Chain A
Amino acid sequence: METTDIGLWGVPLAILGGAIRVSTPFIFVSLGEAITERSGRINLGLEGILVFGAMTAYAVAVMTDSPWLGVLAASGTGACFGLFHGWICKFPKVNDIAIGIALMLFGSGLAFFFGKPFIQPSAPDLPAIAFGGWSSSPQVQAALNINVLFLVGAALAVFLWWAFKNTRAGLIVRVVGDSSDAARAMGLNPNTVRLLATGVGGALAAIGGAYLSLYYPGSWSEGISSGQGLMAVALVIFARWNPLGCFAAALLFGGAGALGPALQSVGVTQGYYLFYAAPYILTLLIMIATSSPGRSLAGAPGELSITK
């Protein structure tokens, strides 16, 4: 009796816990991509930055025994990759999408190159806070064991949502993203703003990678990323370039990913792959419903190459 009860409740609980665990890298990568795209450029290289960030964080954590130094180092290297993308794309005729895909290959290649010696040793994990202490059920406790970075990501989403609306920096990024000409008329240099926005985006993506290697799954290997960096591009569109939307969409994408293992644990072994695809189908349907030949996608930055 006991076990069946937990089995039934186990599914939503496992999805909730899984969504929180799986969504954290999505939150960081998508917020980073949202900042970059809001400035009018798209960086498909976040996947490579994420993998390199995961490797850097793990390596530094192994060497210094401090996971937080690892996160810091990861965000530094991520910013370097982002700045590189931002710099190279300012030259005329250089395609930001193609450079992004090249960076994806280069970043993960470099990560595998330098990461070989770190596959064996184990690094200290990032701390998690147990919010489930009130319950005696181990499943509840497991689901509510929430990593600090998830909370940081949630706070960051709220902050960015506020900052885009209410700060000078937020306004500058939005102006540059909506019209290069208007930005120039205001005395702003669009290339500089995009450079910085891509740099910040890279740093956030690398923190997402650090979460992967330092908490969940919590080890460094060449298969550490399951494409979170590339999926973030879809996620940002799904969220309509809104940071709060990114947070919600990250939970949704994470939940869809957690559905498979949760259903498997109660004996459903088929069909869950289609649930993995659900967020993509939904994003595609939303794009079809809201686009029309007459206008661009609602909420899209005007200078973004992919929505023109």
Chain B
Amino acid sequence: MTDMIGGPAAPALIDGPALRAGLEWVSRRAEAFVIPLTALIVGMALFSIFIALLGKSPAQLYELMWRGGFGSWFSIQNTLSRAAPLLLAALCVALPARLGLVVIGGEGAIVLGGVAAAAMAVAVAGAPPFVGIFVMGIAGMVAGGIWIGAVGALRHYRAVNETISSLLMAYIAIALMNHLVEGPLRDPASLNKPSTHPIDPAFAIGAIPGMEVHWGLAVGIVACVMSWVLIEKTRWGFAARIAGGNVRAAQVQGLPVGPLIVGFTALAGSFAGLAGMIEVAAVQGNANASLAAGYGYTGILVAFLARHNPLAIIPVAILLGGIDASGGLLQRRMELPDATVQVLQGMLFIVILFSETFYGRFKIFNPDLWKRSA
């Protein structure tokens, strides 16, 4: 190490262990950026061909898409509003995934979280706004947490497959919501669109100061950062990652696999429940069938695209929100159907999920293999 410091500059730097270590550091991390970005570009190129075959201009399309999603303060706010619910919905998939579980029923937790929050809002109507919002948030999180936590418990204690049970429970949750919203909890004043009683206006979650985006965005970002810290920086997260890699090894080590699974799935579900609560308190003003808007399903894809890394969920959700936000502009300017953005999203998802197969295939991203080839 010391002899290199005084050596001739250029050759020493190229051969230098410090530089080498730096290169290794970069190349190990580069894979996680290069592969998804390449996949993104390939997906957009494929979509360009699709658009060109229809006789429209891909250049104009992407120009409009940029303008509609990110080109102005107005469009950025639109994008962020659409990204907000996806953050929490994606966490509902990403956290169990670190334990090796594929949970696809976040929609159920969102729906029940919204209903529970709306019901509690009516129960505590008239309370100070802070108390009301807090109670609604807790209600949503408890409902969602119990719902997805049950999926985790069934998985661990009864070996019931979590993918299917969460899907089944999502359908049960939606039926339960429809029953409650059209029956016991229905506001008789809601005629065409059955809803619960509206929440106390004081409990409504407003916009972040200086923006038109509601606080749900900030909550989602905080939840993503906290989840990242939990997984990467705490011993529970470490234990969860070990259990996700190899359950037997974790059990041999004496790790509490059962409580870990139930705890992580319950936390994941409570995030989804919180998404439902925010949808009620910031957007709808009551609980109704619009809660089942498909955020739970889009969240699955966001989590997979982010490779279940909570921090990566933030840019992925914003990208998808931006594509979504540009739909109206594409429709007006290029006379393309509103489903255009859905086709693009589907194409991007497929290409990026396919790119998963290239991880670990390239020597350049794996410094341990450099020596052998040199």
Hey, which bits of chain A sit against chain B, CB under 8 A?
44, 48, 88, 91-95, 97-99, 101-113, 116, 227, 230-231, 233-234, 237, 270-271, 273-274, 276-277, 280-281, 283-284, 287-288, 291-297, 306-307
The complex places the Cα of A102 from the Cα of B43 at a distance, in Å, of 13
The complex places the Cα of A237 from the Cα of B169 at a distance, in Å, of 14
Residue of B nearest to A284 (CB): B168
Most chain-B CB neighbours within 10 Å: which of A97, A231, A277?
A277
* Contacts A109-B345, A113-B340 given; does A292 touch B171 at CB 8 Å: no
The complex places the Cα of A92 from the Cα of B349 at a distance, in Å, of 17
Residues of B within 8 A of A233 (CB): 164, 167
Tell me the residues in window 139-174 of chain B with beta carbons closer than 8 Å to chain A beta carbons. 154, 157-161, 163-165, 167-169, 171-172
Cross-interface CB contact of A93 among B164, B182, B357, cutoff 8 Å = B357
Residues of B within 8 A of A288 (CB): 154, 158, 160
Residues of B within 8 A of A280 (CB): 168-169, 171-172, 175
Main secondary structure of the interface of B (DSSP, over half): helix
Interface residue? B356 (CB, 8 A): yes
Q: Is the CB of B159 within 8 A of A306?
A: no
Most chain-A CB neighbours within 10 Å: which of B164, B183, B301, B347?
B164
Shortest Cβ-Cβ A-B pairs, 9 listed: A106-B346, A109-B342, A277-B175, A112-B339, A102-B349, A273-B179, A91-B357, A273-B178, A109-B343
* Contacts A112-B337, A292-B158 given; does A105 touch B175 at CB 8 Å: no
How far is the CB of B343 from the nearest CB of chain A, in Å?
A: 4
The complex places the Cα of A306 from the Cα of B339 at a distance, in Å, of 31
Interface residue? B102 (CB, 8 A): yes
Residue of B nearest to A293 (CB): B159
* Contacts A231-B171, A284-B169 given; does A112 touch B342 at CB 8 Å: yes
How far is the CB of A91 from the nearest CB of chain B, in Å?
A: 4
A230-B167, A233-B164 given; 18 more Cβ-contact pairs under 8 Å:
A48-B346, A88-B350, A92-B357, A93-B359, A97-B163, A101-B297, A101-B301, A102-B350, A105-B301, A105-B346, A106-B347, A234-B171, A271-B179, A273-B179, A273-B182, A274-B179, A287-B160, A295-B159
How far is the CB of A59 from the nearest CB of chain B, in Å?
A: 14
Q: Is the CB of A291 within 8 A of B176?
A: no
Q: Is the CB of B157 within 8 A of A293?
A: yes
* Contacts A93-B359, A94-B356, A113-B339 given; does A234 touch B161 at CB 8 Å: no
Interface membership of chain B positions 338-374, coded 1 if the CB is closer than 8 angstroms to chain A and 0 otherwise:
1110110111011001101101000000000000000
Q: Is the CB of B300 within 8 A of A291?
A: no
Q: Is the CB of B356 within 8 A of A113?
A: no
Q: Is the CB of B343 within 8 A of A106?
A: yes
How far is the CB of B359 from the nearest CB of chain A, in Å?
A: 7
Residues of A within 8 A of B297 (CB): 101, 104-105
How far is the CB of A153 from the nearest CB of chain B, in Å?
A: 23
The complex places the Cα of A297 from the Cα of B160 at a distance, in Å, of 8
List 9 A-B pairs, Cβ < 8 Å.
A98-B300, A105-B298, A105-B346, A109-B342, A230-B167, A271-B179, A273-B176, A276-B175, A287-B160
* Contacts A97-B102, A106-B343 given; does A287 touch B165 at CB 8 Å: yes
Residues of A within 8 A of B340 (CB): 113
How far is the CB of B77 from the nearest CB of chain A, in Å?
A: 25
How far is the CB of B61 from the nearest CB of chain A, in Å?
A: 13
How far is the CB of B70 from the nearest CB of chain A, in Å?
A: 22
How far is the CB of A102 from the nearest CB of chain B, in Å?
A: 4
Q: Is the CB of A273 within 8 A of B175?
A: yes
Q: Is the CB of A95 within 8 A of B342?
A: no
The complex places the Cα of A270 from the Cα of B331 at a distance, in Å, of 40
Q: Is the CB of A292 within 8 A of B168?
A: no
Residue of A nearest to B174 (CB): A277
Tell me the residues in window 58-87 of chain B with beta carbons closer than 8 Å to chain A beta carbons. none
How far is the CB of B102 from the nearest CB of chain A, in Å?
A: 6
Q: Is the CB of B301 within 8 A of A234?
A: no
Most chain-B CB neighbours within 10 Å: which of A93, A98, A283, A297?
A98
Residues of A within 8 A of B304 (CB): 95, 98
Q: Is the CB of A105 within 8 A of B345?
A: yes
The complex places the Cα of A273 from the Cα of B115 at a distance, in Å, of 15
The complex places the Cα of A44 from the Cα of B297 at a distance, in Å, of 12
* Contacts A106-B347, A277-B172 given; does A292 touch B159 at CB 8 Å: yes
Cross-interface CB contact of B183 among A99, A271, A291, A307, cutoff 8 Å = A271
How far is the CB of B324 from the nearest CB of chain A, in Å?
A: 12
Q: Is the CB of A109 within 8 A of B104?
A: no
Residues of B within 8 A of A108 (CB): 342
Most chain-A CB neighbours within 10 Å: which of B169, B172, B347?
B172
Most chain-B CB neighbours within 10 Å: which of A102, A287, A292?
A102
Residues of B within 8 A of A94 (CB): 353-354, 356-357
The complex places the Cα of A95 from the Cα of B159 at a distance, in Å, of 21
Residues of B within 8 A of A103 (CB): 346, 350
The complex places the Cα of A164 from the Cα of B160 at a distance, in Å, of 26
Residue of B nearest to A48 (CB): B346
How far is the CB of B55 from the nearest CB of chain A, in Å?
A: 14
How far is the CB of A250 from the nearest CB of chain B, in Å?
A: 16
Residues of B within 8 A of A98 (CB): 300-301, 304, 353
Q: Is the CB of B346 within 8 A of A109?
A: yes
How far is the CB of A160 from the nearest CB of chain B, in Å?
A: 22
Residue of B nearest to A282 (CB): B168
Residue of B nearest to A278 (CB): B175
The complex places the Cα of A105 from the Cα of B320 at a distance, in Å, of 13
The complex places the Cα of A104 from the Cα of B104 at a distance, in Å, of 13
